[in-house]
Structure 1
Amino acid sequence: MALLPHNRLVLTERFHEPAGDGGDPEARQKIMSSGFYAPNKNLGEFLTDTAEYDLNTNRYKMIDYLPVDEVQGQNEGYAFCAGAAQMADGNVVMVGGDQKWFMEFKGRNYTSDGRRDVRVYRNGKFHKVASLPTQWINGMESKLYSGRWYPSVLTLPNEDILIIGGHHIYYSPDDPLANNPTYEIFHPSTNSLSTPVTVPMLIETYPVNMYPIVHVLPKSGRVWALAGHESVVIDTHNGNQVNSTSLPKNDLIMGRSFPFAPGHWLNPLSKESDYNAVAWICGGTNSTGPDGNPVPREGEREGKPVHWWSNCPDCPATARCYSLEIEKEGARWVAEDMPLARSQSTAVNLPDGTIAIIGGSGKGHQGGNAGNPYNFDPVNTVVIFDPAQKIGSPRRWRQGAAATVARQYHHTALLLADGTIVTGGDDEQNYIDRFGVDPYSLKLEIYHPPYMFIADRPHFALDKIPTHLSYHKTLTLHFTTAVAPKIRTVSLIRFSTVTHSTNFDQRQVILEVLKYSRDKILVRTPPDSKIAPPGNYMLWAVDGRGAPVVKAAEINLREGNKMEDASGWNEEDTVEPEWTEMEPKEESKSGTSAGEVGSVVSGWMVLVGVFIGLVGVGVSL
């Protein structure tokens, strides 16, 4: 799921097809004969894995881009299992994917090798702009072991695109040729790729090194990368790997990347904290049960070979989180537990500085074919984390409402410009009854965070806010009423792309507020592109009650954007801010059934969560 301007989404999913090769033949036959493995219900005249969805109208259009009756892999290919990122110009780049040969639909064959594709989504369609290099094995070119399946993609401060990690082929952990422990740089200005550079950490953590977690560091501009239990800082200018930091291994939690992935995020960045980058990973998969004994891995009971990376559908989720001040000399991981154990959740930065933790499983982990899952016991209750609260405060971790649709493997969640969170996906809806139940979720849901229920939220005068901003400039933000002195924070939150519990685009940067007037404030844009990588952002203002503006301004932040410093500020209009922090007053939790309103009253803010299903929406594709 990728966010586009004006409340639109690009959605990509896997074809609805029989379970993968291998496994129990009798179970496979049951699945195939149950009838739920049919073409996507929304498909029309052509086969596709992608749609564009307009949340304003609840309408979608399927995107026709897959090759028909072509030589294998000649044109654009299957995008599912790709990595994606928001580009500086506001388009979305998608890299890698999967191979699908001779997919028959309406009497025609569709063939593709999506693993080698670099595509850009612009003007309502994917455009193939480059091909990842094929691999050479024993002196011969191999297209089989080429490209990337489950790579991570990240926009760099100079507008180039980092492509890192993933495997050459569908998950085959005992095949060393499957590993792709490298990164390469895509240059959008020339549609060209740099030579791949080896990352030793990805060699060390194979095969649990898919979708490595990556972030641009705000002080150095280098890239922090985490896979398995290891994290390093990579200088993409020279390929050096520095500042290696290992996660604790004595907690017996499996490595923190696919298929044992946690939720992850960066705390908001601010001048007040010297733009200190604090990375969080939350949840994941335990290798032991409540009794402390190892949980049997897949195949162990049948006497099959078992490895440290073997699947474990019976392994419980963990509530353990770790945080790290990445650019602080000598920093070490700090442990803390959230209220609910969950694996493969998705974290969403919210305009009030909190983080919503969405979806996930109470048992098992990512992986498995649709209808034959490795994850069970969905965790539907949202947890809201407030990094501004001290450890031990009851306001640091709070529980919200429960979703009505389980979001496990392949789910997505991202912030919208009205402050809500849209959730979608999941191909494990039959985690209780594998046979005879369609595993594919065809619904989107909207989560309303606590601030949505605060009365009289402020309004931006959106027509007075520029749509293109540059760095280290002053900017006047106008409101429709005289609420400016009550504004506590102004921030930018970058547009998101989400897959497999990862969202590397997401980033919140707090802006300096320089002056207040009755109906406007003067702020300064971020200092540079290391702190706020170029691209599309939502511009938010939040008052002292924790209430964000009713609608964020959508802007593009880029070095080359023409922007003058704000002028015309009348010093006689300057006033003092009026917002104050109130002491919390803890009250009891109350609620209703799942999917309705549940509330926690805490101080001056009512914490209320509600999930609303979009009735009639059948657009998981």
Structure 2
Amino acid sequence: MQLLHNNKVVMFDRTDFGPSNLSLPYGRCRYDPSDNVLKNDCTAHSLLYDTGTNTFRPLMVETDTWCSSGSVLPDGTLVQTGGYNDGDHVVRTLAPCNNESCDWVEFPGYLSERRWYATNQRLPDGRIIIIGGRRQFNYEFYPRNSESSSSFWLEFLRETRDDDENNLYPFVHLLPDGNLFIFANTRVISLDYKQNRVVREFPSITVDDPRNYPSSGSSVLLPIDENKPIEAEVMVCGGAPRGAFSRAKQGIFDAASRSCGRIKVTDENPSWAMEDMPMPRVMSDMILLPTGDVVIINGAGSGTAGWEIGQNPVTRPVIYKPHGVEDIRFSVMSPATRPRMYHSSAVLLTDGRVLVGGSNPHPYYNFTGVQYPTDLSWKPIHRPT
């Protein structure tokens, strides 16, 4: 899900699960001869939700967005890159509008490399950097220009890949000095993307649990007070023990990590300050609230990301107060009614609520007869006081 500048939320799902529960209008259909499930599909796999009127309309996405990545341009256009199969080299754009005219525009073959489980970050010049992806140890830019017409090698991504990968969807934050904070597996660097060089390697997080997909923790850049000397501090929470993905596929579900780490990367000699969440969590979402607090929501207490291998849903969101008293910064909210597992989502709305949706831990739409049925619902949770 992505909130657009006009207060509407775009949602999308992969295209090769078979028919969805939402028909495309005007007799439109998507024909894909390589689709193994449904070659002629007249249902939508994307929609635009109006948070003000609580209405939605279907959108037409042609190529597979499974495990794609995106970012919003300064003019409000959502740029979604990569995905699976026919979508892995595609760029898709969706410009916000207040009528019925806007829809996805797709540019097949635009990306120089396959981008599946990559991470996007908007840059100060308005471009987007697209980092990594499965077996892609490099990065590229959108839009391309004469100086960035191809991908650039990043050895750090190769070095952080282990037997379960655990370097996919790296955590990326833009730092005040213009460089990029990149966290993969348990390691951290600062990248000068203009010069294609690693400026610095920070200490590895001190609890040796991988944090990136499929161990799937989450991360935020904590709020920066521009009225004080600039300090940039990154927080990383959750994940899974090393080897958890392989063991989960064999039916052995390790407890997720409950550790969180904070590192002030603007310090001369930064180090990780560790503390524990009230419960372990993998596949979580972390969102900055307007108060400056952090909500940690969704996910599982054991296993990892992937089909059917997350167990013990964590239904209680957690609020973290970055400036609270150490050891009592966490507070636990009331439980939600639905498990939010693999590929669930959460996004902050302009009124301060958090919109939570999805959960589909199956290869196809499965609404009955499974432990965690496909969930096409979404719900705004009340903003915390």
Provide the TM-score with structure 2 as the length reference: 0.86
Contact kept? 1:15, 1:40, Cα under 8 Å = no
Task: After TM superposition, give the deviation of residue 208 of structure 1 in Å.
Answer: 2.1
Say if 1:203 and 1:296 are closer, same or farther in 2 by CA, change over 3 A.
Answer: closer
User: 1:506 corresponds to which residue?
Assistant: none
Task: After TM superposition, give the deviation of residue 209 of structure 1 in Å.
Answer: 1.6
Contact kept? 2:355, 2:381, Cα under 8 Å = yes
Q: Residues 113-152 of structure 1, C-alpha deviation per residue, up to 9 Å, x if partnerless?
A: 2111112111521223573455xxxxxxxxxxx4211111
User: 2:92 corresponds to which residue?
Assistant: 119
1: CA distance, partners of 2:287 / 2:232: 16
User: 2:64 corresponds to which residue?
Assistant: 78
SS in structure 2 at match of 1:243: strand
Contact kept? 2:211, 2:218, Cα under 8 Å = no
Pairs within 5 Å for 1:308-347:
314-347=253-286
2: CA distance, partners of 1:299 / 1:418: 41
Task: After TM superposition, give the deviation of residue 277 of structure 1 in Å.
Answer: 1.0
1: CA distance, partners of 2:278 / 2:20: 37
Say if 1:187 and 1:39 are closer, same or farther in 2 by CA, change over 3 A.
Answer: closer
Aligned length: 358
Contact kept? 1:129, 1:191, Cα under 8 Å = no
Contact kept? 2:237, 2:258, Cα under 8 Å = yes
Counterpart of 1:297, as a letter, is R
User: 1:588 corresponds to which residue?
Assistant: none
Contact kept? 1:186, 1:194, Cα under 8 Å = no
Contact kept? 2:160, 2:167, Cα under 8 Å = yes
**Unpaired runs of at least 5, structure 2:** 30-40
Contact kept? 1:209, 1:257, Cα under 8 Å = yes
User: 1:349 corresponds to which residue?
Assistant: 288
Contact kept? 1:130, 1:192, Cα under 8 Å = no
Aligned mate of 1:41, from 21, 25, 34: 21
SS in structure 2 at match of 1:203: helix
Aligned mate of 1:181, from 137, 146, 149: 137
Contact kept? 1:345, 1:358, Cα under 8 Å = yes
Q: Residues 347-402 of structure 1, C-alpha deviation per residue, up to 9 Å, x if partnerless?
A: 1111111111111100111112xxxx11011101111110111313x3x1111111
1: CA distance, partners of 2:152 / 2:276: 36
Contact kept? 2:90, 2:111, Cα under 8 Å = no
Structure 2 residue 381 is the aligned partner of structure 1 residue 447:
yes
Higher-RCO chain (CA-CA 8 Å, sequence separation at least 6): 1
Runs of 4+ aligned residues of structure 1 deviating over 3 Å after TM superposition are 129-134, 190-193
User: 1:58 corresponds to which residue?
Assistant: 54
Contact kept? 1:427, 1:441, Cα under 8 Å = yes
Contact kept? 1:313, 1:365, Cα under 8 Å = no
Task: After TM superposition, give the deviation of residue 327 of structure 1 in Å.
Answer: 2.4
Pairs within 5 Å for 1:78-477:
78-99=64-85, 113-122=86-95, 123=97, 124-129=102-107, 131-133=109-111, 146-167=113-134, 179-187=135-143, 194-206=149-161, 207-218=165-176, 220-248=177-205, 251-253=207-209, 255-287=210-242, 297-298=247-248, 314-368=253-307, 373-392=308-327, 394=328, 396-428=329-361, 436-437=369-370, 439-451=373-385
Counterpart of 1:118, as a letter, is V
Task: After TM superposition, give the deviation of residue 81 of structure 1 in Å.
Answer: 1.4
Q: Residues 513-556 of structure 1, C-alpha deviation per residue, up to 9 Å, x if partnerless?
A: xxxxxxxxxxxxxxxxxxxxxxxxxxxxxxxxxxxxxxxxxxxx
Identity %, equivalent residues? 28
Say if 1:362 and 1:434 are closer, same or farther in 2 by CA, change over 3 A.
Answer: farther
Task: After TM superposition, give the deviation of residue 439 of structure 1 in Å.
Answer: 2.6
1: CA distance, partners of 2:249 / 2:361: 21
Contact kept? 1:12, 1:80, Cα under 8 Å = no
Say if 1:429 and 1:257 are closer, same or farther in 2 by CA, change over 3 A.
Answer: same
Q: Residues 75-132 of structure 1, C-alpha deviation per residue, up to 9 Å, x if partnerless?
A: xx22221100011111111110111xxxxxxxxxxxxx21111121115212235734
Counterpart of 1:413, as a letter, is A
Counterpart of 1:412, as a letter, is S
User: 2:36 corresponds to which residue?
Assistant: none
Counterpart of 2:141, as a letter, is I
User: 1:610 corresponds to which residue?
Assistant: none
SS in structure 1 at match of 2:158: helix
SS in structure 2 at match of 1:316: coil
1: CA distance, partners of 2:225 / 2:119: 26
* Higher Cα radius of gyration: 1
Give the superposed CA RMSD. 2.6
Task: After TM superposition, give the deviation of residue 273 of structure 1 in Å.
Answer: 4.1
2: CA distance, partners of 1:192 / 1:85: 21
